[in-house]
């Protein structure tokens, strides 16, 4: 896909990108596919998938208490526990507001670790990475933002999201549907969104504008971007996903060039 060559013009040191379809075919790739990059908050997608695996195997339940009083696993997954972004402080009652929370996702990882009696990073490796052949991916010391991976590994993960085989398709479908609909909140880097749609760990594009995906991505598009200049989106209407990793912190440069790239990818896929 010629559109991926746009990353060569970006103000970054290194970048790599790829597009994969439902059948697992990589439609295009550009840049160092096997280069490890820090994921920042794209890590949350991996943690979210591991949480779904733990639920399917019965280690935890969505309504198990976790976090502040009244909060559950599901609240942590959907950023509605009321916990602050990066500190152990409660800002709202559970289910009242979409408060994007690293604290909540780190607590989610700790909850799974305790329930499964295994370090969370090892649980993710066994439940997600090893079955998908993601040999170059680690979760690091933070289930919210500590991951390191390659574009090649993340295309395998994106293909799993498009056509689940580790989890039941209905589990993934439910997790990528808006949870606690109608809640407002801040989309990091973009300000307050009304509503700020989110699934169970997966940000959902909906009607948000401006947005880091393309203007032509469908409202059903879901994924995540990270503060170290990384993103992964899946567009169910296109039956395709795009992964892009860079070595520069997110900022105005990314908000400008990412949608242009994504619109070009969508145009080629169509």
Using one digit for the tens of pLDDT, what is the confidence trace for 74-122? 999 999 999 999 999 999 999 999 999 999 999 999 999 999 999 999 9
Q: What is the DSSP string of 175-216?
A: HTS-SSTT--EEETTTEEESS--B-SS-EE-TT-SS-SS-TT
Model confidence, pTM: 0.98
Predicted pLDDT at 247: 98
Q: What is the spatial distance between Cα 18 and Cα 244, in angstroms, rounded to a whole number?
A: 7
User: What's 9's DSSP letter?
Assistant: G
Instruction: Please state, in angstroms and rounded to a whole number, the distance separating the CA atoms of residues 68 and 124.
Output: 25
Residue 61, pLDDT score? 98
Taking CA atoms, 109 is separated from 131, 192, 215, in Å, by: 20, 27, 33
Q: Which tokens sit at 125?
A: 């490796």
CATH architecture of 2-269: 3-Layer(aba) Sandwich (3.40)
Residue 181 has phi, psi (to 5 degrees) of -65, 155
Cα separation, 137 vs 260, whole angstroms? 28
**Buried residues in 169-192 as b, exposed as e (16+ CB within 10 A):** eebbeebbebbbeebebebeeeee
Task: Count each helix (H run) and each strand (E run) in the chain, helices first.
Answer: 8, 10
Regions of the chain with pLDDT less than 50 = none
Q: Which two tokens stand for residue 149?
A: 């991976």
pLDDT of residue 24: 93
**DSSP reduced 3-state for 158:** helix
| Residue environment code for 86-120, b if the CB has 16+ CB neighbours within 10 A, otherwise e | eeeebebebbebbbbbbbbbbbbbebbbebbebeb
Q: Where are the domains of the chain?
A: 2-269
């Amino acid at each position: 896909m010629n559109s991926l060559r746009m990353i060569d013009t970006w103000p970054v040191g290194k970048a790599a990108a790829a597009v994969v379809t439902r059948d697992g075919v990589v439609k295009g790739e550009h840049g160092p596919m096997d280069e490890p990059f820090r994921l920042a908050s794209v890590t949350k997608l991996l943690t979210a998938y591991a949480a779904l695996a733990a639920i399917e195997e019965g280690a935890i339940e969505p309504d198990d208490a976790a976090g502040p009083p009244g909060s559950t696993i599901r609240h942590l997954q959907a950023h509605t526990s009321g916990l602050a972004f990066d500190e152990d402080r409660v800002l709202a009652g559970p289910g009242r507001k979409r408060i994007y929370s690293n604290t909540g996702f780190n607590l989610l990882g700790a909850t799974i670790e305790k329930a499964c009696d295994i370090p969370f990073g090892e649980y993710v490796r066994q439940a997600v990475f090893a079955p998908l052949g993601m040999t170059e991916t680690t979760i690091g010391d933070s289930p919210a933002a500590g991951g390191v991976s390659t574009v090649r590994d993340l295309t395998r993960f994106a293909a799993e999201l498009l056509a689940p085989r580790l989890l039941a398709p209905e589990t993934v479908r439910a997790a990528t549907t808006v949870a606690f609909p109608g809640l407002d909140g801040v989309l990091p880097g973009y300000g307050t969104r009304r509503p700020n749609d989110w699934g169970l760990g997966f940000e959902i594009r909906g009607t948000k504008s401006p947005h880091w995906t393309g203007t032509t991505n469908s409202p059903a598009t879901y994924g995540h971007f990270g503060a170290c200049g990384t993103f992964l989106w899946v567009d169910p209407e296109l039956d395709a996903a795009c992964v892009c990793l860079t070595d520069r912190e997110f900022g105005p440069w990314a908000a400008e060039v990412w949608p242009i790239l994504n619109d070009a990818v969508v145009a080629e896929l169509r």
